[in-house]
Structure 1
């Protein structure tokens, strides 16, 4: 727990990104296998239960780890470690109580929720199966918040990977063995994976915490402590956590509105209950999974960004706030632009290759550009939270959710639009939220960006990549008649073209390459020597 062990925010983000990439990759694999196992209707039932779970989970734990992370990093910056540890212990107690209450509450209300809100009684089993996970995830989130407040990201990273591995194994095994009893039971088995995964992730954190107990005890006794009354600490936690919770609540509420609105409005458009559930599975269980995959980096960046900017804010270092803000937004743009282009151009080939459901490419093509706005919304929200403005991203995301609901209601019920309307509505909602966040950052922090390197050159690289993808895909499919080879070939070729143009244009420089763990220095020297990177 020594201050020398504290990781820089970009290094911390890279560690979390690596863990999240492994975790999300495993998640994509299990989603592919699960879709092929229980079909789009089973995925639709699973996706109906998941927003219920995430809504309650957000209420019980989302704001608390952010509050812990922020308050702990602030106290450490003030050299008041005893108070930092005391804040963690109080917040942990809150998480235990809230997690237990909400888990029991969801178990008791699972049946009326499935019958009266989701309009498909078969979803009851999935809601019931996923409910206990809330308790364990709530506790796990507090420990992650504590370690992130120390700007030590390794415990979070390790627990994420273990959680996903156990979750994936449980989901697939239970879905396979329960499929003979009906698709609703298979979906419930998949949902129960959240419980075993959360237990495993929490176990890892408790092990790491126990292993460093002596150092933590020494840390907890450092400094005089400010002897702040418990009720004032609770008030401070609530002041930070409640706005963040409301902000985090908007996204699962959007998903919940989608889960209730989309199947209903599709039925209004003339689809049967089974067809509507299947189409919802195409959108929420496949298209949105691919859209959310690139957010691995922005979610990890956000977790590292809040304590890093909070520390700079507490010390009054405005130049450091601007520098970290610019680095975060720049990295976000570099990732989201090519991801959106690739998903747009290869929507149907990707859906066919991964899920064997080519029709999932229809909503994916329409929601693909939402990747840009989802990523920017996540990063910009973390920046605003770091400078003590958590209400702004919460309000902006709520406005985006309102736009999403309005467009969803009106477009999805039109027979000629159908599920395309849901995709367009989601992209539009995130677009509004992201733009409002960026305007707020410009007003509060000020812009000090190199727009050429940050926006123009990445757009140029993305356009050149886009022009190369379709011909490459077409040529390979003509030669081999194999979609998987053509899709992978186009993705790899596009990534090489994008990276090369980005390097040649000077948008990525030597100092950026050096941030890559382990190989950064050697890679930077090699790329500089061959003329692809500027010093």
Structure 2
């Protein structure tokens, strides 16, 4: 009962914040598309994988490692270990973020031309790199509070980041327009910097008020070395997995506009199509997943605790309930989006293409919403390598559709690839979980 209440309470708080941020983000993307145009949104989306890759190197694995280390230290009532794990991981992540920030700023022109194939992305990369140190601070402290299962501060920081991001962009746009100054999509990149800075400062302020964590004192050098070793042992394989996944996602993102050109579209048309898909249709389909993502976040520490207790029956019961909840939610929103997709595309985005994309993507909702929780369960069981292998399988299917189907069928081929990849991940997760519990 305690585990159930913890999952429900934590997921509820994260879901409220997730829905609020996605609601703002939904209309924010409408503002971007109408203000700067579909092609500019496509440029912005094209530059983002570089930022995501840098973040993965700096903090993706370290955030999870801090969360797991904090959860373990909390169960053992060892505040010294908690402090050593947090501050050693935090220091490592910050150092990596500044190194990558300087690298991206120096090599922005090269990355945009050779890696992204679009020189106009260089200014966006320079601006986005400034957000790295702040996003890393936010991420590390976020992981600490998730490890404690105290989701209020992570939820507020998430909401604050989105509010400041959207508010800063809208304010700056009208500020410059009233002074007849021409602006561009670079304002969206500046908004990310403002949002991450605000959430980082908020999290740092809350951490300073923690009695046990306000300062890194009272911890010996040996404890820090041990804490760093624990963080590295968890973070290195996780970071390697995340970086490889992000590299594959970057290849996918960069290749879609190029293969659309091979299909016969112009450079501008391919970027516009990519912008409609990733900046309009996908956010609409992903909007309800705030709930399932919150459940997946809480499942990782919860499953780990149940596994330690050795209660197989309790584990199966939790997994069945979570599976039924997520799959039912996916079916509900699948039907809703199929019926209203064209209406949403015309009303909100003024785009018939967006409506068509939404209807096609709606069919993957039952699998998409369930997969996040199934992968969270695998990670909670410590099966991170299997989770990584399943993710890679899904990505390879998507990349295969980019190179094989888009040149023949256009963007429709990629939509088919997205659906196939989600179905494959769904089937592999269920098959492995069934095998895992059968062999217990």
1:431 CA drift (Å)? 2.3
Q: 1 CA distance for matches of 2:247 and 2:362?
A: 21
Q: 2 CA distance for matches of 1:363 and 1:181?
A: 35
Is it true that 1:162 corresponds to 2:160 in the alignment?
Answer: yes
Matches within 5 A, 1:356-395: 356-395=350-389
Matches within 5 A, 1:476-515: none
- The equivalent residue for 2:110 is 112
Contact 1:127–1:188, Cα closer than 8 Å, also in 2? no
Contact 1:17–1:297, Cα closer than 8 Å, also in 2? yes
Is it true that 1:128 corresponds to 2:126 in the alignment?
Answer: yes
Contact 1:85–1:220, Cα closer than 8 Å, also in 2? no
1:324 CA drift (Å)? 3.0
Contact 1:83–1:226, Cα closer than 8 Å, also in 2? no
Contact 2:39–2:268, Cα closer than 8 Å, also in 1? yes
Q: 1 CA distance for matches of 2:175 and 2:438?
A: 56
1:7 CA drift (Å)? 7.2
Q: 1 CA distance for matches of 2:282 and 2:233?
A: 32
Contact 1:137–1:198, Cα closer than 8 Å, also in 2? yes
- The equivalent residue for 2:21 is 23
Aligned counterpart for 2:54 among listed residues 41, 53, 56? 56
- The equivalent residue for 1:71 is 69
Q: 2 CA distance for matches of 1:424 and 1:192?
A: 34
- The equivalent residue for 2:236 is 242
Matches within 5 A, 1:323-338: 323-338=317-332
- The equivalent residue for 2:343 is 349
Give CA deviations for 1:446-485 in whole Å, capped at 9, x if unaligned.
59xxxxxxxxxxxxxxxxxxxxxxxxxxxxxxxxxxxxxx
Q: 2 CA distance for matches of 1:181 and 1:395?
A: 49
Contact 1:339–1:371, Cα closer than 8 Å, also in 2? yes
1:317 CA drift (Å)? 3.6
Contact 2:86–2:140, Cα closer than 8 Å, also in 1? yes
Q: 1 CA distance for matches of 2:101 and 2:252?
A: 23
Over 3 Å counting, the alpha-carbon distance change for 1:36 and 1:441 in structure 2 is same
Over 3 Å counting, the alpha-carbon distance change for 1:343 and 1:228 in structure 2 is farther
Give CA deviations for 1:143-179 in whole Å, capped at 9, x if unaligned.
0111111111000001011100001112333455668
Contact 1:75–1:83, Cα closer than 8 Å, also in 2? yes
Q: 1 CA distance for matches of 2:141 and 2:63?
A: 8
Structure 2 gaps of 5+ residues are none
SS at match of 2:211: helix
Q: 1 CA distance for matches of 2:292 and 2:197?
A: 25
- The equivalent residue for 2:211 is 214
The higher-RCO structure (CA 8 Å, 6+ apart) is 2
Is it true that 1:257 corresponds to 2:261 in the alignment?
Answer: no
Aligned counterpart for 1:427 among listed residues 405, 419, 426? 419
1:292 CA drift (Å)? 1.7
Is it true that 1:410 corresponds to 2:394 in the alignment?
Answer: no
When the two structures are aligned, how many residues end up with a matched partner?
Answer: 436
Give CA deviations for 1:387-427 in whole Å, capped at 9, x if unaligned.
1111111111111111111111111112xx21111222222
Matches within 5 A, 1:395-406: 395-406=389-400
1:232 CA drift (Å)? 4.6
Over 3 Å counting, the alpha-carbon distance change for 1:62 and 1:178 in structure 2 is farther
Aligned counterpart for 2:434 among listed residues 435, 442, 454? 442
Contact 1:294–1:371, Cα closer than 8 Å, also in 2? no
Aligned-residue CA RMSD (Å): 2.8
Contact 1:92–1:142, Cα closer than 8 Å, also in 2? yes
Decide which moves more: 348-357 or 438-447: 438-447
Contact 1:250–1:394, Cα closer than 8 Å, also in 2? no
Q: 1 CA distance for matches of 2:295 and 2:220?
A: 31
SS at match of 1:214: coil
SS at match of 2:300: helix
TM score, norm. by length of structure 1: 0.76
1:311 CA drift (Å)? 2.2
Matches within 5 A, 1:139-154: 139-154=137-152
Over 3 Å counting, the alpha-carbon distance change for 1:324 and 1:68 in structure 2 is farther
SS at match of 1:244: helix
- The equivalent residue for 2:10 is 12
1:321 CA drift (Å)? 2.9
SS at match of 2:185: helix
Q: 2 CA distance for matches of 1:313 and 1:220?
A: 34
Q: 1 CA distance for matches of 2:207 and 2:170?
A: 30
Give CA deviations for 1:306-348 in whole Å, capped at 9, x if unaligned.
1222222233343433333333323221322212222233222
Contact 1:250–1:397, Cα closer than 8 Å, also in 2? no
Matches within 5 A, 1:272-291: 272-291=266-285
Over 3 Å counting, the alpha-carbon distance change for 1:29 and 1:346 in structure 2 is same
